[in-house]
Amino acid sequence: MFYREAGDFKTSYAADQSILSIKLDRYFVIGLIAFGVIVVPMIGNDYWLGSLLIPVLVLSIAALGLNILTGYAGQLSLGTGAFMATGAYMAYKVATNLAFLGAPVAIIIGGLSAAFAGVLFGLPSLRIKGFYLAVTTLAAQFFLLWLFTHVDWFVNYSISGVPSIPPMEFFGVLISGAEATTEARYLFVLGFAIILGLAARNLARCKMGRGWMAIRDMDIAAEIIGIDPLKAKLSAFAISSFYCGVAGALWAFCFINTVEPGAYDINRSFQILFMVIIGGLGSILGSFLGAAFIVLLPIFLNNAPQWIGLNLTSDVISHMEIMIFGALIVFFLIVEPHGLARLWQIAKEKLRRWPFPY
Amino acid sequence: MTETNTNSRIGEELLSVNNIDLSFGGVKALTDISFNINKGEIRSIIGPNGAGKSSMLNVINGFYQPQVGHVRFKGKDYTPMRPALAAKSGIARTFQNIALFKGMSTLDNIMTGRYLKMHSSFIEQALYIGRAKREELEHREKVEEIIDFLEIEAIRKTPVGRLPYGLQKRVELARALAMEPELLLLDEPMAGMNLEEKEDMSRYIIDVNEQFGTTIALIEHDMGVVMDLSDRVVVLDYGRKLADGSPDEVSSNQDVIDAYLGVSH
Ligand SMILES: Nc1ncnc2c1ncn2[C@@H]1O[C@H](COP(=O)(O)OP(=O)(O)O)[C@@H](O)[C@H]1O
Ligand SMILES: [Mg+2]
């Protein structure tokens, strides 16, 4: 029995309510955070930190955002890319025109702007549901991106339309711009991921989270309990879009070092949606797992054939990638809507009983 | 009202519906319905399928807005009642077709019933500090009392979608009780249950009424149960009120016998 719940008796509701009720889980998370903060920057090379972990963490934040809206509150959105773009462009505006505010504030203002856009485009959710709402968010996707590409104000009238992010410091350390070290950018992104991850978990288990889930599962019953559908849906849109906005800004500041519309197109929206589906709808852990999976799978597919001595052309590999994603999404939608997070939970249960079969 | 209440359990009027007319397009679901419910009583609404019983509860808690008439609750007139107002002023209900939050555990379903009693701010919730934490613990305690009361300890953490029908009905009652309502509307709480489950549910309804003093409006088809539990019964048929009175009065009323108990349906 590697993994024990029995013998770990909960003596109060306080203990039972704690974020992850099993002690091992809590140590696991604390250990993971410590590992991410201390060990990873020491052992990770530029490729691992800069090309794998930063995008995984940034997209995890976006996936958390979409999961709040779609997984918890049950409102389907295809506008994730647009809300990320809103965060990126507004953070860029603040970073260039109000530089004294600093990078974190610029990014948070980016998030708040995205939240505002989210509420605006979330208003129709009070009337329409499912497919039709998805179409509305699709309109947000195209409209907002059109705005950012065609209104020069958003890029400070830059000729190329793809301006670079200015170098910015956080506690005296550069975290954006060409000079910033990979370690600094990684740690900065990790800080956001940890704080936003814990906040999402807290919101999900409190009054607000139950309001979202109630609206998702049975809106008439939610209403007779006194849950205001307007408040529940719009708060989900606001918080979700805030997360997406912060992710979009971090993507620009700490990963690609520019603001460009191509990074936030409809493909991005679908990518985040697939992360949420594969990771697990309505799961915080799943948002991270889904993001890691989708970023890392293509890299694995690119390398795995060589490890076993196979030589596939990049054509074949990219086709394989699409087929595997397609199959996985169908699998998770039909067989396991709770995604990788649920598979992880099942694995834990098996470990707990090991070596007994049941 | 004309009846004299010898029972000290029962107080004065808590709710009345007055001259309610409700129609859907051309279909008249309720026609000129008036009756009242007194504090502390168990008031049954009976009638054949399609008589308008569920519609009546929907008018009381504001789901349906009648074209004519008003609802009076705790001395205040509502033309019409609204679901949010009903929840705030102390009306809870269960549904004929179970309306639980399927993806949530039993515990979370019942905790959701405490929604209006929680007041923590967004920041407190995001950081899980202050009122947010305190409220979770306080309300959890209250919810555990309800769980004990309805004997559903074993299914606390089970997603309700996986529970058998009878237990789902019980969880829905638990969620309504978590609101600590003054008036509890139960729409066929025993439909589809076996004898044993019905007996359990009857006992819970009586206990809720006696221990917490909760006033109950009950829709039920099983006449045995209705006769046992109710203080007064109102009979609907084709959206009209056919009779109103004690179980004995109602069951000896010739119109009721013809319409409801008779063989004509
Ligand atoms: N939402 C609605 N839309 C249209 N007709 C309805 C609606 N709700 C109820 N009705 C109609 O009102 C009548 C009474 O229904 P209901 O109140 O459900 O009866 P009961 O609960 O006594 O079986 C029926 O004819 C039903 O078809
Ligand atoms: Mg009915």
Q: Give the confidence band of A1 by pLDDT, cuts at 50, 70, 90.
A: very low
For the entire predicted model, the pTM comes to: 0.91
Token pair belonging to B130: 């202050």
| B97-117 residue pLDDT tens | 999 999 999 999 999 999 999
Pairing of strands B232-237, B240-245: antiparallel
Same-domain pairing of B80 and B108: no
B14 is a domain residue: yes
Same-domain pairing of B157 and B259: no
Same-domain pairing of B191 and B166: no
A62 is a domain residue: yes
Q: Give the confidence band of A3 by pLDDT, cuts at 50, 70, 90.
A: very low
Domain that holds residue A180: 22-264
A311 is a domain residue: no
Instruction: Work out how many domains chain B is built from and give that number.
Output: 2
B185 is a domain residue: yes
Nearest chain B Cα distance for residue A305, angstroms: 41
Instruction: Give me the torsion for CA of B238, B239, B240, B242, rounded to 10°.
Output: 60
Are the CB atoms for A248 and A86 separated by under 8 Å? Answer: yes
| A31-68 residue pLDDT tens | 999 999 988 888 888 888 999 999 999 999 999 999 99
A4: number of Cβ within 10 Å: 12
Among residues B179, B198, B221, which one ends one of the domains? B179
If you take atom 24 of ligand 1, which residue's CA is the nearest one? Answer: B50
Are the CB atoms for B60 and B91 separated by under 8 Å? Answer: yes
Are the CB atoms for A110 and A245 separated by under 8 Å? Answer: yes
| A290-304 residue pLDDT tens | 999 999 988 888 888
> What 3-state class would DSSP assign to B19?
strand
Which of A13, A208, A214 shows the shortest C-beta gap to B125?
A: A208
B162 vs A: CB within 8 A: no
Among residues B123, B148, B179, which one ends one of the domains? B179
Same-domain pairing of B202 and B141: no
| Cα distance between residue A289 and residue A276, in whole Å | 9
| B48-95 residue pLDDT tens | 999 999 999 999 999 999 999 999 999 999 999 999 999 999 999 999
Token pair belonging to B224: 């045995």
Q: Determine the distance from the C-alpha atom of residue B233 to the mean position of all C-alpha atoms in its chain, rounded to a whole number.
A: 15
pLDDT of B1: 41
Report percent pLDDT > 90 for chain B.
86
Considering just the CA atoms, what is the radius of gyration of chain A in Å?
A: 21
Please state the rounded mean pLDDT for residues B179-200.
Answer: 94
Q: Give the confidence band of A16 by pLDDT, cuts at 50, 70, 90.
A: low
B257 is a domain residue: yes
Same-domain pairing of B213 and B175: no
Domain that holds residue B149: 100-179
Same-domain pairing of B45 and B145: no
| Cα distance between residue A33 and residue B63, in whole Å | 48
CA of B51 to the centre of ligand 2 (A): 8
Token pair belonging to A37: 């903060």
Same-domain pairing of B159 and B34: no
pLDDT of A10: 57
Quick check: B84 and A221 CB within 8 A? no
Token pair belonging to A82: 């647009």
B129 is a domain residue: yes
Please state the rounded mean pLDDT for residues B211-222.
Answer: 95
Same-domain pairing of B191 and B250: yes
pLDDT of B2: 43
Please state the rounded mean pLDDT for residues B250-264.
Answer: 75
Same-domain pairing of B4 and B70: yes
Report percent pLDDT > 90 for chain A.
65
Report percent pLDDT > 70 for chain B.
95
Does the pLDDT of residue A356 top 90, yes or no? Answer: no
Does the pLDDT of residue A182 top 80, yes or no? Answer: yes
Among the ranges given (B17-21, B74-78, B257-261), the one the predictor scored with the smallest mean pLDDT? B257-261
Same-domain pairing of B73 and B11: yes
Please state the rounded mean pLDDT for residues B3-16.
Answer: 77
Does the pLDDT of residue A306 top 70, yes or no? Answer: yes
Q: Which residues of A touch B146 (CB under 8 A)?
A: none
| A86-138 residue pLDDT tens | 999 999 999 999 999 999 999 999 999 999 999 999 999 888 888 889 999 99
Are the CB atoms for A321 and A294 separated by under 8 Å? Answer: no
pLDDT of B265: 42
Residue among A221, A21, A320 at smallest CA distance from B86: A221
B123 vs A: CB within 8 A: no
Q: Would you say the CB of residue B58 lies under 6 angstroms from ligand 1?
A: no
Please state the rounded mean pLDDT for residues B2-7.
Answer: 51
pLDDT of A188: 97
pLDDT of A186: 96
pLDDT of B183: 98
Q: How many residues in chain A? A: 358
What residues of chain A have any CB closer than 8 angstroms to a CB in chain B? 13-14, 16-17, 19, 199, 202-203, 205-208, 210-211, 213-214, 216-218, 220-228, 282
Among residues B179, B200, B216, which one ends one of the domains? B179
B95 is a domain residue: no
Are the CB atoms for B116 and A225 separated by under 8 Å? Answer: yes
Q: Residue B236: nearest ligand to its CA?
A: 1
CATH number for B238 = 3.40.50.300
Instruction: Work out how many domains chain A is built from and give that number.
Output: 1
Please state the rounded mean pLDDT for residues A177-204.
Answer: 95
CA of B63 to the centre of ligand 2 (A): 14
Does the pLDDT of residue A18 top 60, yes or no? Answer: no
Are the CB atoms for A37 and A187 separated by under 8 Å? Answer: yes
Residues near A151 by beta carbon (within 8 Å), at least 6 away in sequence: none
Token pair belonging to A174: 């550069």
pLDDT of B260: 66
Q: Give the confidence band of A241 by pLDDT, cuts at 50, 70, 90.
A: very high
Same-domain pairing of B107 and B67: no
Same-domain pairing of B19 and B82: yes
Alpha helices in chain A (DSSP H): 13-17, 23-34, 40-43, 46, 54-66, 80-97, 103-122, 130-150, 182-205, 207-217, 219-225, 229-250, 266-279, 284-307, 314-334, 339-353
Q: Would you say the CB of residue B52 lies under 6 angstroms from ligand 1?
A: yes
Residues facing A287 on adjacent strands: none
Residue position matching structure tokens 């009175």: B245
Does the pLDDT of residue B263 top 50, yes or no? Answer: no
pLDDT of A329: 84
Residue position matching structure tokens 């993507």: A251
Residue among A174, A150, A141, A118 at smallest CA distance from A268: A141
Report percent pLDDT > 70 for chain A.
91
